[in-house]
Structure 1
Amino acid sequence: MSNELLRAPAEAKYAEELDWLESIDDNPKPFSWRLSPKMVRLFILGSERADGLEREIPQKWFGDRSFVERAIVTLASDRGLLLIGDPGTGKSWLAELLSAAISRNSTLVVQGTAGTTEDHIKYSWNVSMVIAKGQSRQSMIPSPIMTAMENGVIGRFEELTRSTSDVQDALISILSEKYVSIPELDEDNIVFAKPGFSIIATANSRDRGVNDLSSALKRRFNFVRIPVVTNKKSEAEIVRFRTEELLRRHNIELEVPPTLLDVLLQSFADLRAASASATSDDERLESALSTAEQIGVLEDAILHSTFFGAASLTSQTLASSLVGSLARRSPEDLAILNKYWHGVIEPRSKDAGGEWNGFLEGGRQAIATLS
């Protein structure tokens, strides 16, 4: 059986790089941080020639430098960090990279859902040990957040607005008082947070109204809003970076022609513009049309071409993957895509030709199949 992980956490994936950065880091470090703020930024945003380093550090998160710097400064204070934005804007990836660089542990994660309870962010009990020996620290099961408190590292809370108000309220005391009481115990009944502890939470801006944050909880967080990437060059870099990772992970030798990448980027840009100008939800695709969804479309097309195609990516396959990924509501989304194909792709195919011809035909066939 292989010991290879399906998806290694950032601290394992970039372990050698983090070790090297730590060995050359002589800048001041807050609390128990493994890297200084400057090195954390360097790890996430990559190095430049002006940095004068012996080796190149690749960029891992593509976004505005100011967002990363503000996030790092927040974590160096005693406030929590809330990354908020549309789906697919890289909030969770940024949170993972920050945790890996600062604490060398990004796995202390609570996933917010309707079923998340206060136990998930505080503690629970090993029932068999409680029956055998009674309640004690040995029979207590600390949550990822409590473990982060005890070790003075970063804890993460994904999809905060999807958890109930009771769970959100439990975070208030942790963020303000920096300790958790254990009333079931007579002794050793308080867990205090050690220096370096903080929480990085993420929230989907499209979930507004599901479980809104209270004013008290909002005051405990610094908000960093991550916008949708609209710069074509930056978006191309993100898609290319993630695609190369996919090809390496699956040991696939397949070239993605730049012309096909341009077709994908332009199609998403067109659909975003149409969605922005729509006057009702029925005229908008249900998809957020995020960069992450572009990556998903391209990944689907690459795997389909590898396993069922001629080991080469074609515009027809790309179009079929795009329609299949974005047509979530039937018939509303199919009607929107059909209108786009007739009104935009067909004229562009006549004017520009090239990959757009195959993209036109592949999209038509996919829409007809799903209709």
Structure 2
Amino acid sequence: MTAEMLRAPAEIKYSEELDWLESIDDSPKPFTWRLSPRMVRLFILGSERADGLAREIPQKWFGDRSFVERAIVTLASDRGLLLIGDPGTGKSWLAELLAAAISRNSTLVVQGTAGTTEDHIKYSWNVSQVIAKGQSRDSMIPSPIMTAMEKGMIGRFEELTRSTSDVQDALISILSEKYISIPELEDDNIVFAQPGFSIIATANSRDRGVNDLSSALKRRFNFVRIPVVTNKRSEAEIVRFRTVELLRRHQIELEVPPTLLDILLQSFADLRAGAAAAGSDDEKLESALSTAEQIGVLEDAILHSNFFGDRQLRAQTLAGSLVGTLARRAPEDLAILNKYWHGVIEPRSKAEGGEWPAFLDGGREALATLS
């Protein structure tokens, strides 16, 4: 079944694993949860030898276990969960894994945009059925949030701060009262949330000021801040994990040399340090330099090597992908990358050798093409 999907949701991708965990789970479960809090954590963070399981459960989200535990505890209460952090820190992936483990359904999602309306989080109407039969429950189209309420599941709201204040205000009543009124109907005009219902929202900390959350809405959420991964070992594990998935999805047999992965990690670490020391936004790359962007750079290089190269990942290709991905503004980003290539990569290639000279040449060529 997953082979027929471009991207299977977590509950389908890991269905066999979730079935097995559910079969051995003898711990108390809150509400209608499919797994206990302990098993939810184990599913997300992976098993350890001390867990004494008959099979290994791989780690799927890489970060501080305290963030996951606090998220799980929040969802077991009557408060919503807000995951906030920079782009590419894994907020949406963590939200999907939590919903998959708790409800076995991570697809009840509302995407916050400037065009998101109150109907998207409550309900709308099937116009043809309304004309034919009038307004009734049968002619109503429930939102993903309303569906989650009716079934006692986890609803998700992506990019909450990108939605307007009217939409955010509508969410306050849902989180507070745990029901939605349908004034168009005379009877059966209230949808009550069933036990197990909660909302996981995500917010981009770089979008602060787009549509700030009101104090009233903030009080309905427990905040879990997801920091940018700066630990090289953790970041390398994330990149490897995603790269294996990429190669499997595209059915590509290509090895990622550890030396090139080290070069990628070091380059991002250097650029982050430069951004932290920059005195103005013009001296910073527009990119958030997140782990997700590292994965994007590596994916681009792997696909380019497979389709247009000799099916071997090389330093020149990796450098070209890095420059092409991060150079978004002209001339600002190009100037920053050019300065980095001459001031950091060039001395390092002379001092350390290895793959660095080829990486230097690949970056120079890419910058010359874009200039």
Q: Per the shorter chain, which TM-score range?
A: over 0.9
- Secondary structure of the corresponding residue to residue 145 of structure 1: helix
Partner residue, 1:294:
294
Partner residue, 1:336:
336
The Cα of 1:2 is off from its aligned counterpart by 9.9
- Secondary structure of the corresponding residue to residue 131 of structure 2: helix
**Structure 2 Cα separation of the partners of residues 32 and 219 of structure 1:** 25
**Is the aligned partner of 1:107 residue 2:107?**
yes
The Cα of 1:151 is off from its aligned counterpart by 0.1
Partner residue, 1:219:
219
1:245-289 Cα offsets, whole Å, 9 max, x none, are: 000000000000000000000000000000000000110000000
**Is the aligned partner of 1:312 residue 2:294?**
no
Contact 2:2 2:8 in 1 (8 A): no
The Cα of 1:211 is off from its aligned counterpart by 0.1
Partner residue, 1:161:
161
The letter of the residue matching 1:125 is: W
Partner residue, 2:364:
364
How do residues 22-101 of structure 1 correspond to structure 2 at under 5 angstroms?
Answer: 22-101=22-101
**Structure 2 Cα separation of the partners of residues 7 and 324 of structure 1:** 25
The Cα of 1:4 is off from its aligned counterpart by 1.1
- Secondary structure of the corresponding residue to residue 138 of structure 1: helix
The letter of the residue matching 2:281 is: D
Contact 2:89 2:290 in 1 (8 A): yes
Question: Where does structure 1 differ by over 6 angstroms across 4 or more consecutive aligned residues?
Answer: none
**Structure 2 Cα separation of the partners of residues 206 and 3 of structure 1:** 36
How do residues 128-147 of structure 1 correspond to structure 2 at under 5 angstroms?
Answer: 128-147=128-147
**Structure 2 Cα separation of the partners of residues 142 and 355 of structure 1:** 56
Q: How many residues align?
A: 371
Partner residue, 1:239:
239
The Cα of 1:3 is off from its aligned counterpart by 6.0
Partner residue, 2:284:
284
**Is the aligned partner of 1:251 residue 2:259?**
no
Normalised by the length of structure 1, the TM-score is 0.99
Partner residue, 1:324:
324
CA distance 1:3–1:53, shift in 2 (3 Å): closer
**Structure 1 Cα separation of the partners of residues 295 and 13 of structure 2:** 20
**Structure 2 Cα separation of the partners of residues 282 and 186 of structure 1:** 58
Partner residue, 1:183:
183
Partner residue, 1:303:
303
**Structure 2 Cα separation of the partners of residues 222 and 281 of structure 1:** 31
Contact 2:2 2:12 in 1 (8 A): no
1:151-206 Cα offsets, whole Å, 9 max, x none, are: 00000000000000000000000000000000000000000000000000000000
For structure 2, list consecutive stretches of 5 or more residues without a partner in the other structure: none
Partner residue, 2:262:
262
The Cα of 1:50 is off from its aligned counterpart by 1.0
Contact 2:88 2:290 in 1 (8 A): yes
**Structure 2 Cα separation of the partners of residues 213 and 290 of structure 1:** 24
The Cα of 1:102 is off from its aligned counterpart by 0.1
Contact 2:2 2:13 in 1 (8 A): no
The letter of the residue matching 1:176 is: S
1:320-364 Cα offsets, whole Å, 9 max, x none, are: 000000000001000000000000000000000011011000000
* Identical amino acids, percent of aligned pairs: 88
**Structure 2 Cα separation of the partners of residues 55 and 345 of structure 1:** 44
* RMSD of aligned Cα (Å): 0.9
Contact 2:121 2:143 in 1 (8 A): yes
Normalised by the length of structure 2, the TM-score is 0.99
- Secondary structure of the corresponding residue to residue 106 of structure 1: coil
- Secondary structure of the corresponding residue to residue 362 of structure 1: helix
**Structure 1 Cα separation of the partners of residues 62 and 197 of structure 2:** 26
**Structure 2 Cα separation of the partners of residues 259 and 211 of structure 1:** 43
**Structure 1 Cα separation of the partners of residues 254 and 244 of structure 2:** 10
The letter of the residue matching 2:338 is: N
**Structure 2 Cα separation of the partners of residues 170 and 246 of structure 1:** 39
1:69-113 Cα offsets, whole Å, 9 max, x none, are: 000000000000000000000000000000000000000000000
Contact 2:154 2:196 in 1 (8 A): yes
Partner residue, 1:193:
193
**Structure 1 Cα separation of the partners of residues 359 and 160 of structure 2:** 39
For structure 1, list consecutive stretches of 5 or more residues without a partner in the other structure: none
